[in-house]
Amino acid sequence: MKTKSLPLAGALLLAGCGLQPVQPWQREDLARPEMAWERGLVEEGAIRSHTYQSKEAAIGGPALGGGGCGCN
């Protein structure tokens, strides 16, 4: 039950219920490089995802991966 309510709580949070809209001139901190979704240089996220996916059963995330195996 607790697990099932998590996505709903997350959706409500993202919908911004009860939050003051953030104005464009207030977004300086959001534009800082430290805040990027993907950290690191030269597709660091891609090779890290590939490494985990080739050693673990799970895949998936908000991005498309490339094909291929490299999985011995």
Partner 1 sequence: MSTPKPSRALLALSAAAAALPGYSGEAQAWAEEQADAGYRYSHYQEASLPASATNGGAGERYEVDSHQFHLLHPYGEAWDFSADLMLETMSGASPWYVAPGSGGQAIQVLSGASIQDQRTVLQGRARQHLEQGRRALSLGVSKEDDYLAYSGGVEAEWDFNQRLNTLSAGLGYSYDQLKPTDGGSARFPNRIAKADKDSFTAYAGLSRVLTPQTVAQLGLSYSYSDGYLSDPYKLAYVDANLLPDSRPPDRNQWALTGRLRHYLRSLQAALHVDARYYTDNWGVASDSLEVAWVQKLPSDWRLTPSLRWYQQGHANFYRPYYNATREDGFYSSDYRLSAYGALSGRVAAEKSWRGFSFSAAVEAYQSDGDFALRSVSDESPGLVDFLVVSAALSYRWSLAPPTPRSGGALQPEPALPAPVQIVPATP
Burial of 27-53, coded b for 16+ CB within 10 Å and e otherwise, reads eeeeeeeeeeeeeeeeeeeeeebbeeb
**How many C-beta neighbours within 10 Å does residue 12 have?**
11
Interface map 43-72 toward partner 1 (x if CB under 8 A): xx-xx---xx--xxxxxxxxxxxxxxxx-x
Residue count at the site for partner 1 (CB under 8 A)? 53
Q: Which helix (H) or strand (E) holds 51?
A: helix 44-55
Binding mask 4-43 for partner 1 (x = CB under 8 A): ---x--xx-xxxx--x-xxxxxxxxxxxxxxxxxxxxxxx
Query: How near is the Cβ of 1 to partner 1 at its closest, in Å?
Result: 15
Give the footprint of partner 1 on this chain (CB under 8 A): 7, 10-11, 13-16, 19, 21-44, 46-47, 51-52, 55-70, 72
